[in-house]
A and B are shown apart, each in its own frame.
Chain A
Amino acid sequence: MKHLDEYRDGGLARGLAARIHSEAKPGRAYAFMEFCGGHTHAVSRYGVQDILPENIRLIHGPGCPVCVLPIGRIDQAIELAKNPEITLCVYGDLMRVPGSNGASLTKAKAGGADIRMIYSTLDAISVAEREPQREIVFFAIGFETTTPPTAMAIRLAQKKRLRNFSVFCNHVLTPAAMRQILETSDPQSLPLDGFIGPAHVSTIIGTAPYDAFAGEFRKPIVIAGFEPLDVVQAILMLVRQVNDGRAEAENEYIRAVTPDGNRIAQAEIADIFELRESFEWRGLGEIPKSALRLREAYRDYDAERRFSMERRVARDNPACECGAILRGVKQPRDCKLFGTACTPETPMGACMVSSEGSCAAYWAYGRFRASQRRAAE
């Protein structure tokens, strides 16, 4: 595929890997967190770890929106969908996310709830136009990348004067989560030398928001695309920053990301949404000013107000180590539940929920590495 194969070229990868091998200092360990699920996916799918030196460790961060959605919000969505007047439109990977007591949207659908899988917010608008007698609620989820399409849907609903469309808003903000990880982790226990910064998120917010991290927390950040060569190139740039003692926000993804980002999208988001005081992240807990809700002027499109949705609090299994794993303090195999009670078929914690979560990635990939090591011994 043109414009994609170029970024998956094994020959170029070997060249970059050779440079990383020669520049990474054998005497030191490097730990980099790839924030986004998209990076985690590229790392697992293309076997990026295999071409890196042993002393470079990748920590899979919390940047998978499905993983960090708290159980209580899933419970709320299931409750909403049980209302016979409501059609809940959702992105596909939310369907299997477990709520309390083993409930999920898939099971609610089987139980008769009208839940429809959509691919775009425009699909939800079409459903609302086609079925004016039903209340159509879009289950909005995601980081800054998926917020503009939600904003666009609300704008479109306004223009079309749709009276039966609303949004259950769960949009969250990347910089707030990165800050939380850095602020709440003990620097001694957090072996983090830098971040591979978000790709698609940065096309919206630009590179400017990351300057503060590099300055304030002295952690190098390299914004990188989601293709495997992007990831390897970013790792080389991070190794160089660490070796030079630099902590800068650099941009590997210059083909898509600019310093200012997408100003039209930013303006639309600012017009329709406002910051929540606080929002719960599964695995990370409450994070102040880390999520969006609809402004008062758009209250008619806000499902939480429209249907007087009540907040639900539900706890993860106390043995679940997702919080420590998301911060990079622990590894999936350190968790008692991993691979026993918690598997991709029966996920207990945030990191196993989506294939991009760190435990799911380790399940699909790390077990294999472990078996390879056993075979080698």
Chain B
Amino acid sequence: MNKILSLGRKLDLRHGRVDLSHGAGGRAMARLIADVFHAAFDNDWLRAGNDQSAFDVAGGRMVMTTDAYVVSPLFFPGGDIGLLAVNGTINDIAMAGAKPLYMSASFVIEEGFPLADLQRIAQSMGEASRAAGVPIITGDTKVVERGKADGVFISTACVGAAQIELSLSGDKARPRDAILLSGSIGDHGVAVMSRRENLCFETDVLSDTVALHELVAAMVAAGGPSIRAMRDPTRGGLAATLNEIANQSRVGARIDEAALPIKPQVAAACELLGLDPLNVANEGKLIAIVAPEAAEATLAAMRAHRLGAQAARIGEIVEDDCCFVQMRTTFGGDRIVDWLSGEQLPRIC
């Protein structure tokens, strides 16, 4: 109690705004950290009040990742930048087949940013990290002048532990491996676009942002070392992810359009905007490259989990020196699924 009193006047979390003093290292900053971040992330490490946190590790393979989040708008149907930061970072660890353990979060906040929005973002991060069982144990706060950032940017890091016999990697795909996809594609990108300032359209599509480590654990239990690679198709969508793996492994991939789960609302929005769902971002889906003998067992484990109920075997890895990703279209022809050239831009006709 005394500690809080010593931090001076309480923050006006309803109407207040972040100002430069909140990043200046004085009382105002301490107050912001205590009232917004510690309150939301609440754990023993943060309560200790140090610039770093210590934890013990078991012997074995450690996995580490770092990520940055700059999404616009900050709040979108089905989530916000904070939720995205926690889930996305956890997923990067999970894609190594690893168990995420601890994470960090740093905030670059623009002067004038509403404290209520900051609190809302912090609370959704706190809830997500508790739900995932991955505490945020250290962090940092900076405030920059108005115009030098877009509301708030979040940077994270996460460490996890993997079984020593697992070494998932994008360069391990082999011809005849199955390509498994955990659920519908394009939801996140469409949900975010539906709230873009110059693009508002009505849709009931929600972002699919979710932490996938429990689904991964179920898959690893079923498929073990037969799982060669896993990746979450975020920016660039399924098309970019498959091309990455094909190039890393020097193989081709062949997928079947009819097997791809795409929600009708997502397909309609993409149609309207001239976008291809294969290029649209996801934040709660994964693809797995699995040796053919373990493919069905892994798929069954995915489908038994709530985050993989719509999982599908969408194709297979093939020999191809050109590393093409091909798709048999529902129409009956074949096409190449290429990387995007530059940013995905809508077509005018």
Q: Which residues of A contact B (CB under 8 A)?
A: 1, 4, 8-10, 13-14, 17, 36-38, 41, 44-51, 65-66, 91-93, 95-96, 106, 116-119, 123, 141-143, 145-146, 200, 228, 344-345, 354-356, 364-365, 367-368, 371-372
In the docked arrangement, what's the CA distance between A46 and B264, Å? 18
Q: Given A96-B342, A345-B341, A367-B322, is A356 in contact with B335 using a C-beta cutoff of 8 Å?
A: no
- Measured CB to CB, the closest approach of chain B to A224, in angstroms, equals 14
* A48 & B326 in contact (Cβ 8 Å cutoff): no
B333, A48: Cβ atoms closer than 8 Å = yes
A93 to B342, CA, bound (A): 11
B-side residues, CB < 8 A to A, are 198-199, 264, 267-268, 271, 273, 276, 320-322, 324, 326, 328-336, 338, 341-343, 345-349
Which applies to chain A's interface (DSSP): helix, strand, loop or mixed? helix
Q: Which residue of the partner chain A has the closest CB to B332?
A: A10
Q: Which chain A residue shows the least CB distance to B346?
A: A92
Q: Which of B320, B330, B335, B341 contacts A365 (CB 8 A)?
A: B335
CB<8 Å pairs between A and B, sample of 13:
A8-B330, A10-B331, A41-B347, A46-B333, A92-B345, A92-B346, A118-B198, A142-B349, A143-B349, A344-B338, A356-B347, A364-B336, A365-B335
- Name the residue among B321, B334, B343 with the largest chain A CB count within 10 angstroms: B334
What CA separation (Å) do A364 and B264 show in the bound complex?
26
Chain A residue nearest in CB terms to B337: A364
B329 touches A38 (CB 8 A): no
A65 near B334: Cβ-Cβ < 8 Å: no
The contact of B345 among A9, A38, A50, A96, by CB within 8 Å, is: A96
A141 to B267, CA, bound (A): 27
- Find out whether the CB atom of A93 lies under 8 angstroms from the CB atom of B199: no
Asked if A146 contacts B348 (CB within 8 A), the reply is yes
**Roughly how many angstroms separate A8 CA and B331 CA in the complex, as a whole number?**
6
Q: Does B349 lie within 8 Å of A145, measured CB to CB?
A: yes
Task: Report which of A45, A118, A371 forms a contact with B329, defined as CB distance below 8 A.
Answer: A45
Contact A14 B332 (CB under 8 A): yes
- Asked if B348 and A142 sit within 8 Å, CB to CB, the answer is yes
Is B333's CB under 8 angstroms from A93's CB? no
What chain A residues lie within 8 Å of B343 (beta carbons)? 95-96, 106
What residues on B are CB-neighbors of A8 within 8 Å? Answer: 330-331
**Residue in chain A with minimal CB distance to B334:** A47
Are A146 and B333 interface neighbours, CB within 8 A?
A: no
Contact A371-B322, Cβ < 8 Å, known A38-B349, A119-B199: yes
**B349–A65 touching, CB < 8 Å:** yes
Write out the residue numbers on chain A whose beta carbons fall within 8 Å of the beta carbon of B336.
364-365, 367-368
| CB-based contact B348/A47 at 8 Å | no
Beyond A93-B345, A93-B348, 11 extra complex contacts between A and B, CB < 8 Å: A4-B271, A45-B276, A47-B334, A49-B333, A65-B349, A92-B346, A95-B343, A96-B341, A117-B345, A142-B348, A345-B342
- List 9 tightest A-B contacts by C-beta distance, closest first: A47-B333, A92-B345, A50-B333, A344-B341, A46-B331, A10-B332, A91-B348, A368-B336, A92-B346
Compute how far the CA of A367 lies from the CA of B252 in the bound complex, rounded to whole angstroms. 14
B residues within 8 A CB of A44? Answer: 335
Of B322, B335, B349, which is within 8 A of A200 by CB? B349
Cα separation A364 to B268 with both chains bound (whole Å)? 24
Q: Which residues of B contact A146 (CB under 8 A)?
A: 348-349
Closest CB in chain A relative to B200 CB, distance in Å = 10
Interface centre among B328, B332, B346 (most CB of A within 10 A): B332
Contact A93–B347 (Cβ < 8 Å): yes
Let me know if B267 and A1 touch, CB within 8 A: yes
Q: A42: nearest residue on chain B (CB-CB)?
A: B331
Let me know if B341 and A13 touch, CB within 8 A: no
For A47, give the chain B residue with the smallest CB separation. Answer: B333
Q: Which residues of B contact A92 (CB under 8 A)?
A: 345-348
Q: Is the CB of A95 within 8 A of B331?
A: no
Closest to B201 in A: A119
A290 → chain B, closest Cβ, in Å? Answer: 17
Across the interface, name the chain A residue whose C-beta is closest to B342. Answer: A96
Q: Is the CB of A50 within 8 A of B322?
A: no
Which of chain B's residues have a CB closer than 8 A to the CB of A356?
Answer: 347
B347→A119 contact, CB < 8 A: no
> Roughly how many angstroms separate A371 CA and B326 CA in the complex, as a whole number?
11
Name A345's closest neighbour in chain B (CB-CB): B341
Q: How far, in angstroms, from A38 to B326 measured CA to CA in the complex? A: 21
Instruction: State the CA gap A234–B273 with chains docked (Å).
Output: 26
Residue of A nearest to B327 (CB): A47
Contact partner of A1 (CB less than 8 A), chosen from B268, B326, B348, is B268
Task: Contact check, A10 vs B330: say whether CB atoms are below 8 A apart.
Answer: yes
| Cross-chain contact of B334 among A37, A91, A344, A368 (Cβ < 8 A) | A368
Residues of B contacting A371 with CB < 8 Å? 320-322, 324
CA distance A41 to B346 in the complex (A): 13
Nearest-CB distance from B320 to chain A (Å)?
Answer: 7
> From B319, which residue of chain A is reached at the shortest CB distance?
A375
Residues of A within 8 A of B338 (CB): 344, 364
Residues of B within 8 A of A117 (CB): 198, 345
- Taken together as a complex, chains A and B put the C-alpha atoms of A4 and B257 apart, in Å, by 16
User: Which residue of chain B lies nearest to A360 when distances are taken between CB atoms in the complex?
Assistant: B341
Q: Is the CB of A51 within 8 A of B332?
A: yes
